[in-house]
Copies of this chain bind each other. A is one copy, B any other.
Amino acid sequence: MTKVHPTSYVSPQAKLGNDVEIGPFSIIHDNVILGDRTSIGSYCELGISTPLGDGSPLIIGDDSLIRSHSVFYESSLFGVKLMTGHHVTIRENTKAGDGFQIGTLCEIQGGCQVGNYVRLQSNVFVGKKTKIGNFVWVLPYVVLTNDPTPPSNQLIGCTIEDFAIVAAMAVILPGVTVGHHSLVAAHACVSKDVPPRMFVAGVPARVIGETKSIKRRDGSKDAAYPWTLHFHRGYPDEVVAKWKAEIEDIDEST
């Protein structure tokens, strides 16, 4: 059964799925579609209208959780199992896949593409026109920029490829591609493309080596990367099974 707190405003034009919950003091505007079993916390405002949108609704997939004090504009699309922290701000024209996790204080400026099972930790800034692949990790206080010569009208988004990890407080400069399975160290400033499976660090960032040379800190002396070897928490079983099959293929071919 859908439960709307009596202090909340839900537009009669908004479309709510089954068993949706809307917390206290929240606002759901006209142009919003919420999937089944989705839960919206307190003090959230969803579906703010904007001339920068394409007129399409804000669509949130089934089984999603949006925590308190969060703001979403219309004209963005999220797959199933979206989960946010508190105080997030998401502008228009973003398309994201399933299982997207957005940490507390994150901001997505709009016009971005995000793959499946991407995890932004706290306070990540995603500039307009950013492209993020699948299974990407972005750690706290990372800034993904887009203006090569600020201020200008040439917005060139970054690209973060599948399985890449961008560590805390890194800045990715406009138009840079962070390659698949690569690792950007904490506090790096990345001005050149990062090759796949490599590890970069510094200001400006330089290639330090291959990610596979980095050891885990659990006493095992095993390689920490590719991280899909040992970290599976929160991913669907079928995804993990596919990762395992791919890794066995690599092992057999070497």
Contact = CB atoms under 8 A, between A and B. Distances in A.
Nearest to A224: B149
Given A125-B140, A143-B168, A69 B43 contact: yes
Central interface residue in A85, A145, A175, by most chain B CB within 10 Å: A145
Given A149-B215, A153-B231, 7 more contacts: A43-B43, A87-B105, A107-B123, A123-B125, A125-B140, A149-B217, A149-B225
Contacts of A109: 122
B171 A171 contact: no
Interface string A189-210: 1000000000000110000000
B151 A137 contact: yes
A236 interface: no
Interface in A40-73: 41-43, 45, 68-69, 71
B152 A230 contact: yes
